[in-house]
A = this chain, B = another copy of it.
Amino acid sequence: MLRQLCCVLAFVVPSGLWADPLPSWSESRAKTEIVVFVEAVTDPSSEMFVPVADRIAVFDNDGTLWSEQPVYFQLIYAVEMLQDKAASDPSILTSDTLKAAAAGDWATLAQGGKEALIEVLDVSHSGMSVAEFQANAYDWVTTAQHPTSGLTYAQMTYQPMLELLSFLRDKGFATYIVSGGGIDFIRAIAEEAYGIPPEQVIGSQGALSYQVVDGVPMVVKGGGVVFVDDGPGKPVGIMRHIGKRPILAGGNSDGDLEMIEWTTSGDGPRLGVLVHHTDADREFAYDREGHIGVLNRGLDEANDRGWVLVDIAQDWGRVWSGP
């Protein structure tokens, strides 16, 4: 009888009353602020109600949905691809940056800044169809081992954020990734890793061209970066792809600041979320300094701007989706 009653009630009672949508989050202020916001904008009787068409949530990827230390995972992949390519054709190593990358000289590579990273991505990722690249990237992300955690990269997605993405989708949100990383790389795993289909992934873009090779039409990755989806590029990337302003944005670094600023400055209810990497035991601890995921303005301004600061050590009961 109780079982039958549950079956009936399941159709008429909001699921939120029956199950915690964010079980990997500690019962902290951050969790409460997020849940209260989502419940309010999806409750037709609330003054904060937002129609489904406008329930757009955008998230940075590196450091927000999965880890980004010791360097962006895509860069580790790019260096390995470059090494593979150079083994059969050393003539592709046309600069000191590329030679350093192929030699695994991360220190030199880091000194080269963003330009060096782009050069390595550019040369390692070009000259194949998007489909071929993605099959290779998927294989790497799901089988290669991270240097310190011993997990696969796919296992280093954040369990609390996976729950947040599912919670938002259950509440009628469209969930997008808006990443400084390469759009084709992220799309290779986004559906399986995050439940996010390719058309809801926005990222930096290399040149593409349409070619008919031996009678087979295909879209091929070429050289050159045509769009950098970072900093002020993030609102631009969102406008290009989605064509309207989100109501919820999450990130972890100052490269996400403009995206969160733009998202939270429109009319009506809006929420900004910043993940703060505070947990050297379970993940990594970093913020104001370094070469990856630097967070200064976000830390200084989050409180005044009313953005939710998520402290990994305090707010997450579990970090990675993997074991």
Q: Which residues of B contact A240 (CB under 8 A)?
A: 183, 205, 208
Q: With the chains together, A290 CA to B235 CA distance in Å? A: 40
Interface flags for A203-232 (1: CB within 8 Å of B; 0: not) read 001001110100011110000001100001
Q: Known contacts A217-B262, A261-B217, A262-B219: does B53 contact A197 (CB below 8 Å)?
A: yes
* Shortest CB distance A127–B (Å): 16
Find A239's partner among B53, B130, B235, B241 (CB 8 Å cutoff).
Answer: B130
B235 A217 Cβ-Cβ under 8 A = yes
- Considering only CB atoms, which chain B residue lies closest to A243 in the complex? B198
* Shortest CB distance A59–B (Å): 16
Q: With the chains together, A130 CA to B242 CA distance in Å? A: 13
A288 an interface residue at 8 Å Cβ cutoff? no
* Shortest CB distance A208–B (Å): 5
* Shortest CB distance A210–B (Å): 4
Find A236's partner among B198, B201, B209 (CB 8 Å cutoff).
Answer: B209
Q: Which residues of B contact A227 (CB under 8 A)?
A: 226
A258 an interface residue at 8 Å Cβ cutoff? yes
A244 an interface residue at 8 Å Cβ cutoff? yes
Interface flags for A243-269 (1: CB within 8 Å of B; 0: not) read 110000000000000100110010000
Q: Which residues of B contact A236 (CB under 8 A)?
A: 208-210, 219
A199 an interface residue at 8 Å Cβ cutoff? yes
A199 B243 Cβ-Cβ under 8 A = yes
* Shortest CB distance A265–B (Å): 5
Q: With the chains together, A12 CA to B74 CA distance in Å? A: 49
User: Footprint of B on A, CB under 8 Å?
Assistant: 53, 130, 174, 183-184, 187, 197-199, 201, 205, 208-210, 212, 216-219, 226-227, 232-236, 239-244, 258, 261-262, 265
Question: What are 14 sample pairs from A and B whose C-beta atoms fall under 8 A apart?
Answer: A53-B197, A183-B240, A183-B243, A198-B243, A199-B241, A199-B243, A199-B244, A205-B240, A208-B240, A209-B232, A210-B236, A212-B261, A217-B235, A219-B239
